Amino acid sequence: MNMILLKNVSYLNIEKEKIEDNYDILIENNKISKISSKIDIKADKIIDCSGKLAVPAYTNGHTHLGMTMMRNLADDLDLNTWLNEKIWPVEDKLTSEDIYWASMLSIVENIKSGVGTVYDMYYSMDRVSDGIIESGIRGVLTRGMMDISGGGDERIDELLELYKNYHNSGNGRVKIVPAPHSIYTCSKEYLIKLMDIAASFDGVINTHLSETKKEVEDCLKEHSTTPAKYLNDLGMFDLKVVAAHCVHLTDEEIDLISEKDVYPIYNPSSNLKLASGFAPIDEMLKKGIKLGIGTDGSSSNNNQDLIEEMHIGSIVNKAVTLDATSVPAIEILKMATLNGGKLTGFNNGIIVENALADIALYDLNALGFTPKNNMISALCYSTNSNYVTDLIVDGKVIMENREILTVDEEKIKYEVNRLTEKLLKR
């Protein structure tokens, strides 16, 4: 049995919304087995956590790990020019090896901002699954599917194969979920087919929803209703739904979502940078909706820094609502922890006995924690991803003193640089 003992820990008790001081935390295999003021036991590894702050490892609720080669390739452009002229022509030429190495780079960035679980939608997901397994983190891996340009059935064959080969692999760290890309890239029939498949898997489905005004306007024209209502009418909301973006929801749709098992994922940087708009986060919180938070892909964000995402995600809403009390630090932290655990189904994102041992450690001696006033504020407003020193996922140390132990960061950077050069010449 693998045992890790964290000594002298201060940790974020996310349910009680406070920092607990002076505890020892025992990890046995992949679980937190005991939290007590003093544990003396001969563990395989003892980590002295004096001067550290432990938080539940974060969940990046929506990303496209494989898009990193298009990072900084085209910015400050409107969405259509960006997608049609810049991103899609390059994306078309990506090989599965490109996607593997790009995903590895994104995984490294996620680990370095304390992320233990990613919710990733892309293709070549067999290779992405390999990368997740090697890296030691968790992934809900969703195959982005569309049929408007044909190939819908082949995608389904791939999905079924992927599910067979990878679902619950890596000691249960990988889950496969179907992901109709969006209402504008999937026919009604295809959406229904994928819902049926989702029901035959774990009853979970992932999609982009109401990202832009145009999507809503087109939906109104074509289906005489708004996107969330359209999906609900098709029966999708009888499943557990993880819906990225949700920027342009009507009040009626917010009510609808609050009654269903739907997790909107907030992607503030991407929504701002692509000029999609401001998601109604304050309204959704007030309706008790469980929100996740994500970085989106590095071609739109352009990074995988969930800690910066939390910061931006909180403060931008205050200006939207003209209310400085809206979307406080603790709510943003819940999106990245507790809610993250629920929306992925891993039920991690919390430091309690019997929870999965997914923990990130921060260096409390860092500038942003000085002086030591409210630590919950510090986590959201004054610290950054470089203050995360260690990451434990599934009871294993993945990063120690900012060195990633599972994969070779330098090799990954080298390969991404090399392959991007080749890609852009193709």
Per CB under 8 A, which of residues 289..328 are in contact with a copy of itself? 298, 301-303, 305, 308, 311-312, 314-316, 318-319, 321-326, 328
Closest CA to 265 of 156, 111, 119: 119
**Could you tell me how far CA 108 lies from the centroid of its own chain?**
14
| Residue 296 marked as a ligand binder | yes
# of chain residues touching a copy of itself (CB under 8 A)? 70
| Residue 248 marked as a ligand binder | no
Pick the closer one to a copy of itself by CB: 355 or 423: 423
Pick the closer one to a copy of itself by CB: 156 or 274: 274
| Residue 62 marked as a ligand binder | yes
| Of positions 31, 167, 260, 273, contacts a copy of itself by CB under 8 A | 273
**Cβ(39)–Cβ(24) below 8 Å:** yes
225 binds a copy of itself (CB under 8 A): no
Closest CA to 11 of 397, 317, 360: 360
**Cβ(294)–Cβ(244) below 8 Å:** yes
Per CB under 8 A, which of residues 376..415 are in contact with a copy of itself? 377-378, 381-386, 413
Q: Which two tokens stand for residue 328?
A: 């406080």
265 binds a copy of itself (CB under 8 A): no
Q: How far is the CB of 400 from a copy of itself (least distance, A)?
A: 18
- Euclidean distance between CA atoms 117 and 282, whole angstroms: 25
**Could you tell me how far CA 282 lies from the centroid of its own chain?**
20
* Amino acid letter, 172: G
Which strands make up the sheet holding 115-122, listed edge to edge?
58-63, 115-122, 138-145, 174-180
Q: How far is the CB of 377 from a copy of itself (least distance, A)?
A: 4
108 binds a copy of itself (CB under 8 A): yes
Closest CA to 113 of 383, 407, 416, 375: 383
51 binds a copy of itself (CB under 8 A): no
Q: How far is the CB of 423 from a copy of itself (least distance, A)?
A: 9
For residue 183, CA distances in Å to 122, 214, 232, 235 come to 16, 12, 12, 14
Per CB under 8 A, which of residues 198..217 are in contact with a copy of itself? 213
| Of positions 347, 365, 405, 426, contacts a copy of itself by CB under 8 A | 365
Which stretches of 322-374 are DSSP H helices?
A: 329-336, 338-344
- Euclidean distance between CA atoms 213 and 304, whole angstroms: 25
| Of positions 269, 339, 389, 406, contacts a copy of itself by CB under 8 A | 269
Other Cβ atoms less than 10 A from the Cβ of 336: the count is 33
Footprint on this chain of a copy of itself (rule: CB under 8 A): 68-79, 82, 105, 108-109, 112, 213, 269, 271-278, 298, 301-303, 305, 308, 311-312, 314-316, 318-319, 321-326, 328-329, 365, 367-368, 370-375, 377-378, 381-386, 413, 416-417, 420-421
**Binding site as annotated, residues for substrate:** 91, 143, 181, 211, 296
